[in-house]
Amino acid sequence: MAHKLAFIGFGTVGQGLAEILRDKHEHLKAKEHFEAEIVAISDFNKGSIYHPNGLNINTVLQVLRETGNLENYPPAPGLVTGWDSLRTIRETNADSIIEVSYTDVRTGQPAIDHCRTAFLAKKNVVMTNKGPVALAYKELSELAKEEGVYWGFEGTVMSGTPSLRMPAAALAGNEITEIRGILNGTTNFILTKMEEEGVTYEEALKEAQKLGYAEADPTSDVEGYDARYKITILSNYVMNEPLLVEEVSCRGITDLTLTDIEEAKAEGKRWKLLAKARKENGKVNASIAPEKIDMTDPLASISGAVNAIAYDCDLLGTVTLSGAGAGKVETGFSLLIDLINIDREKKLVNI
Ligand SMILES: NC(=O)C1=CN([C@@H]2O[C@H](COP(=O)(O)OP(=O)(O)OC[C@H]3O[C@@H](n4cnc5c(N)ncnc54)[C@H](OP(=O)(O)O)[C@@H]3O)[C@@H](O)[C@H]2O)C=CC1
Ligand SMILES: N[C@@H](CC=O)C(=O)O
């Protein structure tokens, strides 16, 4: 049966998923037996539309491109406009909520309430918003389980690169004692541009924003708050150790100058914003900080908006994964793979 989707937020990532659903409809149906229709979209400034029989994705994207407001969607019997996020979650006939509103690095709201409301309404949530997973993982995962619904959040760490599903599925049985990685695409993009092209910090940040990598408030990227959320998610979900965001020491890249970068280059080194977590005696110590690493370090060759993560496993040794860390289609894909996995899990339950 086709998923009925309601989007909360419709910026870069939301539109990325919508484009994938439009462009790969036939392929997904034929190869994955996967079908989804968008029934509702509720966005803070771009407006809100709902039709229980589904919206035409091409028309939605065209109306938004041409007018900037979803409520200019052609009127049709049954079309509803103006519903806010909570009403959209509660009252539409969507079975899955795509939560792609902005990540609030202090409170995680209103996305935490979006999740609570959806689970209590017995709807799945698939999201790339990091706030709820970093700040309320235990409460929300228990609530989803109690209500018998799915909660997918692959895209909260390293975009569509399977940094969460890979260790959970393919490394099961290992104890992961240490994680070290580059977890923010924007800052890695900025550092690469500064080093390789001599571009200023400000210019590089502007380009990262234009390409859709940066957070709505890029302070989250450059001060390390985004990576701090991600290492907290990894500790809770991959290492199975509760860690609070405020327990992670955090320093961003704003103090680094072109001179620092040139000096490192002359020493055969390279600056990277590193996220680290180490488990000892059942406790995780974690940090976010820029480090000057040797060119021979595997993380030194990770450039642009690509991210990488190394998991130290007791049975398998170190396993390193690299791939997209940000981007419209790449992060849209993370939502698709969560939806595909909901179907797979449902099929297993029904066997
Ligand atoms: N971009 C990327 O590469 C990645 C992003 N993420 C995460 O995915 C989420 C979406 O990112 P992205 O699409 O880039 O961000 P955008 O800023 O492009 O889009 C977010 C959208 O959500 C809307 N919005 C904000 N608050 C609300 C609300 N309360 N109710 C409804 N809509 C709301 C915004 O509206 P308006 O602008 O009109 O105010 C905006 O249209 C973020 O949480 C981000 O951290 C995760 C991985 C990668
Ligand atoms: N702003 C983030 C987007 C993905 O989480 C980043 O640059 O990594």
pLDDT per position as a tens digit, 160-170: 999 999 999 99
* C-beta 253 within 6 A of ligand 2: no
**Number of the ligand closest to the Cα of 42:** 1
* C-beta 214 within 6 A of ligand 2: yes
* C-beta 350 within 6 A of ligand 1: no
Residue 252 known to bind ligand? no
Crossing angle of helices 185-197 and 258-266, rounded to 10°: 70
* C-beta 186 within 6 A of ligand 2: yes
Residue 173 and residue 314: Cα distance in Å, rounded? 9
All domains in the chain, ordered by first residue: 3-160+329-349 (3.40.50.720), 165-324 (3.30.360.10)
Residue 67 known to bind ligand? no
Residue 221: its pLDDT value, please?
Answer: 98
Mean pLDDT of the region 52-63:
98
* C-beta 342 within 6 A of ligand 1: no
Percentage above 90 pLDDT, the chain:
97
Pairing mode, strands 176-182 and 269-280: antiparallel
pLDDT per position as a tens digit, 243-279: 999 999 999 999 999 999 999 999 999 999 999 999 9
Mean pLDDT of the region 341-350:
87
Distance between Cα 311 and ligand 1 center (Å): 29
Residue 271: its pLDDT value, please?
Answer: 98
In which element (H, E) is residue 210 found?
helix 201-210
Give yes or no for a contact between 85 and 113, defined as CB atoms under 8 angstroms apart. Answer: no
In which element (H, E) is residue 21 found?
helix 12-23
Distance between Cα 271 and ligand 1 center (Å): 29
Name the residue of 101, 210, 220 whose CB sits within 8 Å of the most ligand 1 atoms, as the mutation to test its pocket.
101
Distance between Cα 187 and ligand 2 center (Å): 9
Residue 351: its pLDDT value, please?
Answer: 65
Mean pLDDT of the region 27-41:
97
Residue 185: its pLDDT value, please?
Answer: 98
Q: Which two tokens stand for residue 159?
A: 């975009």
* C-beta 221 within 6 A of ligand 2: yes
Residue 10 known to bind ligand? yes
What is residue 85's three-state secondary structure? Answer: helix
Phi, psi of 8 (to 5 degrees): -110, 110
Identify the residue whose tokens are 């234009």: 210
Name the residue of 13, 109, 226 whose CB sits within 8 Å of the most ligand 1 atoms, as the mutation to test its pocket.
13
Mean pLDDT of the region 79-107:
97
